[in-house]
Amino acid sequence: MNSTKAMALLAACLAGGITFTCAAQAAQVEVHDPVMAQDGARYYVFSTGPGITFYSSADMKDWVPEGRVFAGEPAWAKRVAPQFDGHVWAPDVVRHDGKFLLYYSVSSFGKNTSGIGVTVNKTLDPRSPDYRWEDQGMVLRSLPNRDEWNAIDPAVIADKAGNGWMAFGSFWGGLKLVRLDASWTRPAEPQQWHTIATRAPTLTPAGEAAPQEVEAPFIFKKGDWYYLFASWGLCCQKEKSTYHVVVGRARDVTGPYLDKDGKDMAKGGGTLVVKGNRNWIGVGHNSAYTFDGRDVLVLHAYETADRYQQKLKVLDIGWDSAGWPTVDPAQLDSYQSRLLPAR
């Protein structure tokens, strides 16, 4: 069922009060690389897509489409990534200094001719008179023949002192971390670069994707620990997708991030958090949050019954006696988002 038909069906169901029958047929939210933020009484999910698509919800289950962040595309995108096709990748959204900063990637599949940018807004509510995205341009970039890393998949966190740090990276030399300046829109000087996760080191011709199946870092602070989540495996391959989520933790934001066995993620370590099942595969590119005392893992998964279309999943995070994050894999089946008509 395509999204237009699904929305029409849902609207007819709601108008006719046919709740039970339609609930099973209601469209789910299709997202890739989801991140979430709370603004007032609503939650907002941002996703890879043309101009960055986003949705809002009052309960993290029923979602309404809110359009896109960029009406067109970032003005600088094709200068940095000439093969950029209009799909803005892997956003991250954080609140800093009274504003929301939305980071994003421009690239083309399998290339490290890439850049990370950031756009700023006072609010996430498109109905507010203060709603206006102001693009701050490129934060950093990667170039073939110069960089053995890929400038995509940004994720920003404040350390214990309030300094901003950006984790990023995909394949090639693994996941990197750089400190940001006071505005959180540029690297701080002098620039401090750290490798926080890799798989088996490999050498490849310049510009070609290295077969290190690690990407999508997300650092989540809980208590005295920083937890580094990452996605291992392949996304975007339909039934052949092998994406799954691993984690390590550190006392300092720069690492080292060790898994349960004490292995450094910068040397191939990583403890499994969640992988797919026969109904949901390609589980990954997660983010993690605490909302009103509830810890949640936000990710995408490919639905086998819907030709491996990507769907939103919001899973509860528990914590074992040693302080490691746990999720119930059964929630991959029990959590079902619902796409409602636009407000």
Catalytic residue numbers, as ranges: 33, 215
CB-based burial label for 6 (10 Å; 0-12, 13-18, 19+): middle
CB-based burial label for 22 (10 Å; 0-12, 13-18, 19+): middle
Cβ atoms of 101 and 86 closer than 8 Å: no
Phi-psi region of 77 (alpha: psi -120 to 50; beta: other; left: phi over 0): alpha
- How far is residue 139's CA from residue 128's CA, in Å, rounded to a whole number? 27
What strand order describes the sheet that includes 294-303? 280-291, 294-303, 309-316
